[in-house]
């Protein structure tokens, strides 16, 4: 048997700079500091940003619309944040909220770790959430998001 077309975990992409057509697999994609998914052409070294469909309240779907931040230990390419640094982030968020009484939350995210602290006025306490190997998705504002009463 001869395979004429292999659709297993691969796609064909054309380099925007040199026009080379390449077979790209899941392992060839990376994420930059602006959360853009991209692949790099092995011939001209150009960074090719993947044009993803715009996410809206109607089209968002977990996990397809999200970027997964897995540590290298778990098979991903996100930097593992050590517990000591995570503890520092929690304290930094708490200090920020104490210095800024009008703010209701603060978060820090990098590598495989997401830290968020919320003020709970009704309970007179803070809620701290730490997530390792998390998912993120940016959802652009729509017209309704700019309409205030």
User: Per-residue pLDDT tens for 83-95?
Assistant: 999 999 999 999 9
Structural domain includes residue 129: yes
Q: Report the predicted TM-score, pTM, of the whole model to 2 decimal places.
A: 0.64
> Number of structural domains, the chain?
2
Asked if 64 and 125 sit in the same domain, the reply is yes
Beta pairing partners, 10 = 25
**What confidence score (pLDDT) does residue 29 get?**
87
Asked if 90 and 134 sit in the same domain, the reply is yes
Structural domain includes residue 20: yes
Asked if 46 and 72 sit in the same domain, the reply is no
Asked if 126 and 65 sit in the same domain, the reply is yes
Residue 17: is the preceding peptide bond cis (ω within 30°)? no
Asked if 47 and 60 sit in the same domain, the reply is no
Structural domain includes residue 149: no
Asked if 61 and 40 sit in the same domain, the reply is no
Asked if 92 and 109 sit in the same domain, the reply is yes
Q: How far apart are CA 114 and CA 136, in angstroms?
A: 10
Asked if 131 and 98 sit in the same domain, the reply is yes
CA dihedral 69, 74, 79, 85 (to 10 degrees): 100
Per-residue pLDDT of the chain (149 residues; tens, 9 = 90+): 555 555 555 678 889 999 999 888 878 888 887 777 889 999 999 999 887 778 888 889 998 888 888 888 888 888 999 999 999 999 999 999 999 999 999 999 999 999 999 998 887 899 999 999 999 888 888 888 777 65
Asked if 102 and 64 sit in the same domain, the reply is yes
Structural domain includes residue 81: yes
**What confidence score (pLDDT) does residue 5 get?**
56
Cα 87 to its chain centre, rounded Å, is 21
Structural domain includes residue 128: yes
Domain limits for position 65: 55-141
């Amino acid at each position: 048997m001869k395979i004429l077309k292999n659709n297993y975990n691969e796609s064909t992409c054309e380099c925007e700079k040199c026009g080379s057509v390449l077979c790209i697999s899941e392992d060839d994609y990376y994420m930059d500091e602006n959360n853009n998914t991209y692949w790099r052409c092995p011939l001209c070294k150009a960074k090719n940003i993947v044009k993803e469909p715009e996410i809206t309240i109607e089209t968002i779907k977990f996990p397809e619309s999200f970027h997964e931040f897995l540590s290298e230990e778990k098979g991903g390419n996100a930097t593992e944040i050590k517990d000591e640094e995570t503890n520092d982030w929690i304290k930094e968020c708490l200090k920020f909220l104490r210095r800024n009484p009008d703010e209701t939350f603060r978060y820090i995210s990098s590598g495989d770790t997401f830290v968020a602290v919320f003020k709970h006025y009704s309970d007179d306490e803070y809620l701290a959430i730490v997530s390792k190997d998390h998912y993120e998705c940016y959802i652009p504002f729509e017209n309704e998001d700019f309409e205030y009463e």
